Amino acid sequence: MSRVKAIYRSLGHSLYRQAGVCTAPSCRVAREDRRTGSAPRAEFLLPTTRCAADGASRSAAGAVGGGQETPGLETALQIPSIGPIRSAVLLGILQTPHRFRTKRQLWTYSGFGIETQSSADHRSVNGQLERVKKQSSIRGLNRNCNHDLKNLFKGAAIVASSKPGPFQEFYTALLTKGIRPEMARLTLARKIATIALIVWKRGACFDAQHLKPQTA
* Cβ contact 136:116 at 8 Å: yes
CA–CA distances in Å: residue 4 to residues 12, 25, 34, 128, 199: 13, 14, 16, 70, 42
Percent of the chain with pLDDT over 70: 65
Percent of the chain with pLDDT over 90: 20
> pTM for the full model?
0.63
Q: Report the alpha-carbon distance of residue 174 to residue 178 in Å, rounded.
A: 7
Task: Give the model's pLDDT for residue 109.
Answer: 92
